[in-house]
């Protein structure tokens, strides 16, 4: 058989294919559709509040009785300093002026209005909602959280972008490691926001396979059956798919964003901190070209919170120059079929490989 069964048995699914948790793209409908394809859906909770997280989990359970993962951000929260507040004011003024110059009327929040949530409240909510699979990114859970989650029978999937990060996850007792290559779309899962590892996925997977003993899921640049075959040969027992689902029927992207995806070229795809303060791979536009490498980028999550209203306003105007359209390096046709059909087709393509 083409499909390794270690993760399938552990996660309660037929195929070890995971729908990537793409906050802002993933919907509860996408999670349910992935489950219909006998794959693992991933509910993207990012850094939402405990109440918001619980509500989305309950809504997802109404749509599927099959296993799904929840995904949270475990990033470092910067200290609040006078310097940070001053930079915030300058950045807010600059972005508001930039928006006005481009016919976008938007008022960004004051520093005091920014709500920063720790993942610890989410951990308690996940346990209360009887979640059984938790994936996380931007770092590692602390030891008390790991212990609490394991005591409640929750399988943990950590994300790494380097060998060192993989070793730290394994040492902490994380059950499964998702290896994310630099090719992946969206935000880098790196433990640090600065000086991120820029290692190609195939090289990274090969190195990690030689140094850790826990099962590995591969994410980044999956184009189709041939790339799945390649990473399977390098030791992957599971495969995380995001880029293939961006324009799917269940995607939260609007029609104008899906149309932009279909016109994307290799030279349009860049790694940028401009929207969020963390490196993310997406489609180059006017906002990125103006803000990247400027002094107007705050540390994550402040930049992300600050630009959120701008992105919403640009969406309402169907203006692709001021929204973050995240995409990986493997350009394809961006099918608008259902997530279920896209994943079933991928699985079917793999059937010829033994």
pLDDT, tens only, 332-342:
999 999 999 99
- Is 127's pLDDT higher than 80? yes
Q: Which pLDDT value is given to residue 4? A: 86
Write down the domain spans for the chain: 1-77+116-250+334-354, 80-115+265-326
Q: Phi and psi (nearest 5°) for 300?
A: -65, 140
> CA-to-CA distance for 25 and 186, rounded, in angstroms?
10
22-58 CB burial, b ≥16 within 10 A, e <16: bbbbbbbbbbbbbbbbbbbbbbbbbbbebeebbebbe
* pLDDT tier at 231, thresholds 50, 70, 90: very high
Task: Tell whether pTM > 0.95.
Answer: yes
Beta bridge partner(s), residue 187 = 280
* pLDDT tier at 2, thresholds 50, 70, 90: confident
Mean pLDDT of 240-256: 98
Q: Tell me the pLDDT tens digit for each residue of 292-305.
A: 999 999 999 999 99
Q: Which pLDDT value is given to residue 354? A: 56
Question: Which of the four CATH numbers 1.20.120.530, 2.30.40.10, 3.30.160.620, 3.20.20.70 does domain 1-77+116-250+334-354 have?
Answer: 3.20.20.70
């Amino acid at each position: 058989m083409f499909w390794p069964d270690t993760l399938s048995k552990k996660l309660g699914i037929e195929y070890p294919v995971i729908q990537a948790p793409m906050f802002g793209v993933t919907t509860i409908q996408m999670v349910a559709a992935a489950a219909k394809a006998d794959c693992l859906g991933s509910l993207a909770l990012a850094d939402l509040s405990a109440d918001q997280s619980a509500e989305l989990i309950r809504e997802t359970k109404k749509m599927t009785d099959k296993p799904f993962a929840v995904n949270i951000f475990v990033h470092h929260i910067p200290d609040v300093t006078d310097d940070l507040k001053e930079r915030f004011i300058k950045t807010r003024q600059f972005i508001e002026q930039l928006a006005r110059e481009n016919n976008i009327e938007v008022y960004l929040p004051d520093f005091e209005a920014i709500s920063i949530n720790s993942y610890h409240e989410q951990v308690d909510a996940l346990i209360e909602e009887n979640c059984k699979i938790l994936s996380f990114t931007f770092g590692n859970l602390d030891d008390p959280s790991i212990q609490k989650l394991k005591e409640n029978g929750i399988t943990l999937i950590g994300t790494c972008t380097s060998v060192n990060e993989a070793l730290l996850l394994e040492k902490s007792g994380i059950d499964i490691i998702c290896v994310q290559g630099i090719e992946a779309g969206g935000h880098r899962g790196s433990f640090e926001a600065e000086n991120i590892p820029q290692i190609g996925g195939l090289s990274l997977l090969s190195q990690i396979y030689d140094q850790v003993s826990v099962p590995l899921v591969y994410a980044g640049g999956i184009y189709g059956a041939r790339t799945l075959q390649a990473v399977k040969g390098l030791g992957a027992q599971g495969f995380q798919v995001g880029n293939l689902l961006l324009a799917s029927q269940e995607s939260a992207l609007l029609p104008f964003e899906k149309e932009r995806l279909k016109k994307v070229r290799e030279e349009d795809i860049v790694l940028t901190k401009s929207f969020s303060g963390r490196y993310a791979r997406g489609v180059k536009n006017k906002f990125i070209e103006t803000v990247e490498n400027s002094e107007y980028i705050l540390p994550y999550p402040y930049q992300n919170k600050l630009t959120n209203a701008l992105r919403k306003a640009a969406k309402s105007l169907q203006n692709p120059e001021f929204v973050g359209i995240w995409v990986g390096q493997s350009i394809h046709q961006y099918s608008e079929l259902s997530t279920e059909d896209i994943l079933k087709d991928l699985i079917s393509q793999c059937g010829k490989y033994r």
